[in-house]
Amino acid sequence: MEMNKSLLCTLCIVLCTLLSACKGPNNGEDPEIKPQEDTIPADTEINVSPTTRPEQYRPQVHYTPLHNWSNDPNGLFYKDGVWNLYYQFNPNGIECDFGGMSWGHASSTDLMHWQEKPTVLYPDWMGAMYSGCSVVDHENKAGFGNGAVLAFYTASGEKQVICLAVSTDGGETFWKYDHNPIVPSTGLANFRDPKVVWDAQRGRWTMLVARGWDLGAEIWHSYNLMNWEFDGIFRVNIERCNMSQWECCDLLYFEQANKWVAVVSINPNGYITGSSTMYFVGNFDGVTFTPDEDEYPRWLDYGADCYAGVTFDNAPDSRKVMIAWMNNWDYAPGCPPSAWKGAYTLPRELSLRYKGNHWVLCSEPVVELGVVANPWQEAATEMMNIGGDYADAWEARITVSLAKDATIKLSNKYGNQYVITVNAGQRRIYCDRGGKTGESNFSTLFSVPSMSAPIEGNEQYITLDVVVDQSSVELFAGEGSTCFTNTVYPRSIYRNIEVEGEVTELKVRTLETIWK
C-alpha cells in the first residue's frame, strides 16, 4: 500500500505540473505564493506594535493568511492537541480566482495563535478545490489506518462532484483517493460543500451536500466513510429561505436539548446584503430533518460579515466551535487591504438556549480569547485612548437596563465612528456601519447605516460583549443570542468608547496581537 501511495503521489505531481504548464500562469512550475505590496497613505496612523504584521487594516486577533486571497473555511478538525483550519485560497495572487482555488492551511494549539502552513490541496484534472470538511477516522472504518484524517472536498470541474483526500500525518499533507469521486455528479450545476458529521444515535456518518440554486441540501449516510447512500433532500417551503443559493451547510446535535440544528449559508440576498447564515432547529431521524417552527429563517449573525461558518470535527468535550469567513461576496474583491483579502471570525462556541418561547442558536467567543487578554479595567460611562499608542485590539463588556434606550459609540481621533443602539421600546439592537466608520467608497453596497436584530428573551438587562480589531467589530449580546459581525476600515483602530443610557457595567480589556 505504501508503494501504491508513493506511485500515486508521483503521478499526481507530474500531472499537476503538466496542467500548470498548459494553463500558463506558473510556466510549468509548482504554485507559489506571490507577495503583494502594501500601499498606505503617508499620513495614515497605524496603531500596531513593532512585532505585528504591520499593514493597515491587518487584524491582530483574527487569523489572516500573510498574503493573497482567501474565503470559506474548510475541513476544520481537532486532533492530538492541534486545531486545524483549512480555507479556500488563491496561492498565486490577491484576486479571487475560482479556477485556481486551493486549500490553504493554518494550525493552532490554543485557537488564537495560528501558524500558517503550506497549501495542502491544489486543482487537478477534475477541477478546482472548492469547499468541504474533514473527519478523524478513529476506528479505521475507511481502511486508511486508525486516526487517519479524511477530507471530503468539492472538485469543481465540468460538473461538481465530491472527492476524498487522505492524511496520515495529522493533516500536514494529503493524498487524493485514486477512485474519486466518492460521490459522483447528480447532474446539478451546483453540488458542493460536503459536511460530514457523526450520528451517534444511529452509529453512522451523515453527509450534507448543498444544492446551490436548487435551494436545498442533500442528505447521505455511510457506515464506513467510503460507500454513501442517498437519503433525501432537506428543503423549506418559506420564501425568505429560498431567495438565494444554498451553500456550506452544517448539522449539529445538542444532547442537553435533544435537538438538531441545520445551518445553511446563503448568497446573495442575505439578511443585510449579499452573504448571510440562517439556521433551523428541529429533529433528525437519520434520513429527514424536520424544523420545529414556521417562523424561519433565524439568523446566526445579523451583521454583514459572517459567512460559510462550519464547526470543527472531533473537538474535545463535544464542543461546537465554529469559524466563519469575515467578509461578504457583495464587496469582498474590492475591499481595501492590498496584501491579503479575507479574514476569519474569532472562533466561536455554539450553544442552544431557550429564550422567550423558542430555541436560539447562540455564539460567543471561545474562552481561549483569554489567552491574549489583559486584565479588565472598570469605567463609568466612557474610556478614551484604550491601549495607548499601540492598541492591538480590545474588548468591552457593557451591561445596560432595558428600561430605556442606550447608545454605545466607538471612535478614533479622526472622527471615524461605529455606533450601536439598544432600542428598549422595540427590544432591538441597531448597528450603524455608515460612511462615518471609515473607508467605504470601494463599494456602493458596503455602507449600511441601520442593521437591526431582535433582543431574544424577556430579561430586563442585557450584556453586550464588543471585540474591536483593526478592521472589524464583533458584537455578542444576550449570551450570544444576538450577534453582529462587521468589517470596517477606519483610518486607525477605534480606541474610544462612550456609553449613554442606564449603565450598570462598563469594563474594557486590551487584547495582545497574535502575531508576536
CA angle 322, 324, 330 (to 5 degrees): 160
Q: Are 247 and 267 in contact (CB under 8 A)?
A: yes
Shared-domain flag, residues 328 and 234: yes
Any domain includes 360: no
CA 371 to each of CA 116, 389, 514: distance values in angstroms, whole numbers, following the listed order: 19, 22, 10
Is the peptide bond prior to 365 cis by the omega test (within 30 degrees of 0)? Answer: no
Residue position matching grid coordinates 503521478: 11
Q: What is the mean pLDDT of residues 77-81?
A: 98
Q: Tell me, what CATH number does 403's domain have?
A: 2.60.120.560
Q: Give the separation between CA 150 and CA 174, rounded to whole angstroms.
A: 9
What span, in angstroms and rounded, lies between the C-alpha atoms of 379 and 358? 35
For residue 71, give the H/E element and its range. Answer: strand 68-79
**Predicted local confidence at residue 311, as pLDDT:** 98
CA distance 183 to 164: 9
Distance CA 177, CA 155 (A): 12
Predicted local confidence at residue 43, as pLDDT:
43
C-beta atoms surrounding 318 within 10 Å: 10
Within this chain, do residues 320 and 383 fall inside the same structural domain, yes or no?
no
Is 516 inside a domain boundary?
no
pLDDT for res 388 = 82
| Residue 13 CB neighbour total at 10 angstroms | 11
Query: How many angstroms separate the Cα of 82 from the Cα of each of 196, 393, 416?
Result: 20, 25, 39
Same domain, 102 and 246: yes
User: What is the model's pLDDT at position 27?
Assistant: 31
pLDDT of res. 367: 98
pLDDT tens track for 351-374 = 999 998 899 999 999 999 999 999
Are both 348 and 440 inside the same structural domain?
no
Per the structure, how many domains does the chain have? 3
Task: Specify the CATH number for the domain of residue 248.
Answer: 2.115.10.20
User: Angle CA(393)–CA(51)–CA(375) in degrees, nearest 5?
Assistant: 40
Strand order in the sheet with 148-156: 128-137, 148-156, 160-167, 175-176
Whether residues 411 and 278 share a domain: the answer is no
pLDDT digits (tens, 9 = 90+) for 294-304: 778 899 999 99
d(CA 85, CA 70): 12
45: pLDDT confidence band, cut at 50, 70 and 90?
A: very low
Q: Domain check: are 246 and 392 in the same one?
A: no
Structural domain includes residue 256: yes
Q: How confident is the model at residue 391 (pLDDT cuts 50, 70, 90)?
A: low
Its domain, for residue 487, covers 373-511
Asked whether residue 50 is domain-assigned, the answer is no
- Does residue 393 sit within a domain? yes
User: What is residue 55's predicted lDDT score, i.e. its pLDDT?
Assistant: 81
Q: Do residues 384 and 503 make contact, with C-beta atoms less than 8 angstroms apart? A: no
CA angle 197, 157, 99 (to 5 degrees): 100
Which of 331, 274, 329, 266 lies closest to 300 in space, CA to CA? 266
Whole-angstrom distance, CA of residue 334 vs CA of residue 328: 11
Residue 37 lies in a domain: no
68 pLDDT above the threshold of 80: yes
Compute the distance between CA of residue 92 and CA of residue 186 in angstroms, rounded to an integer: 32
Q: How far apart are CA 73 and CA 106, in angstroms?
A: 11
pLDDT for 40: 35
Asked if residue 65 has pLDDT above 60, the reply is yes
Residue pLDDT, tens place only, 108-149: 999 999 999 999 999 999 999 999 999 999 999 999 999 999
Q: Which three cell numbers stand for residue 77?
A: 478538525
Residues 321 and 173 in one domain: yes
pLDDT attached to residue 225: 98
Q: Give the mean model confidence (pLDDT) for residues 401-430.
A: 97
* pLDDT over 90 at 49, yes or no: no
Q: Rounded distance, CA 25 to CA 18, Å?
A: 12
Per-residue pLDDT at 196 exceeds 60? yes
The chain-wide mean pLDDT, for the chain, equals 90
Grid look-up 444576550 returns 478
Report the pLDDT value the prediction gives residue 380, as an integer from 0 to 100: 87
Distance in angstroms (rounded) separating the CA atoms of residues 388 and 394: 11
Which residues are bridge partners to 465 per DSSP? 397, 476
For 3, the 3-state DSSP assignment is: helix
Q: Is the model's pLDDT at 435 over the cut of 50?
A: yes
Give the pLDDT confidence score for residue 51 in this predicted structure: 43
Is position 41 within any domain?
no
pLDDT tens digits, one per residue of 153-180: 999 999 999 999 999 999 999 999 999 9
Smallest CA-to-CA distance from 433 within 399, 402, 475 is with 475
Provide, for the chain, the percentages of residues in helix, strand and coil under a 3-state DSSP scheme, each rounded to the nearest 5: 10, 45, 45
pLDDT band at 446 (very low <50, low <70, confident <90, very high): very high
Residue 110 and residue 258 share a domain = yes
Instruction: Please say if the pLDDT value at position 430 is more than 70.
Output: yes
d(CA 295, CA 15): 51
Backbone Cα Rg of the chain: 23
The residue among 355, 389, 413 that closes a domain is 355
Mean pLDDT for the stretch of residues 174-203:
95
Taking residues 227-244, report their average pLDDT: 95
- Which helix (H) or strand (E) covers residue 378, if one does? strand 377-378
Residues 330 and 458 in one domain: no
**Whether residue 144 is found in the same domain as residue 231:** yes
% residues pLDDT > 70 (the chain): 89
In a domain, 53, yes or no: no
Residue 33 confidence class, pLDDT cut points 50, 70, 90: very low
User: Quick one: cell of 412?
Assistant: 478614533
pLDDT band with cut points at 50, 70 and 90 for residue 328: very high
Q: Which amino acid is at 320?
A: K
Distance separating alpha carbons of residues 418 and 473, to the nearest angstrom: 9
E strands within 200-294? 204-210, 217-222, 229-234, 245-254, 259-267, 276-284, 289-291
Domain boundary pick from 355, 382, 400: 355
Question: What letter does residue 280 receive in the DSSP assignment?
Answer: E
pLDDT attached to residue 19: 37
Q: Please tell me which residue in 30, 38, 72, 137 is annotated as part of the active site.
A: 72
Same domain, 198 and 114: yes
Question: What kind and span of H or E run contains 351?
Answer: strand 348-355
| Predicted pLDDT at 48 | 40
Clarify whether 72 is annotated catalytic.
Answer: yes
Residue (of 223, 229, 311, 228) closest to 265 by Cα position: 311
Residues 72 and 144 placed together within one structural domain of the fold: yes
Rounded CA gap, 306 and 322, in Å?
11
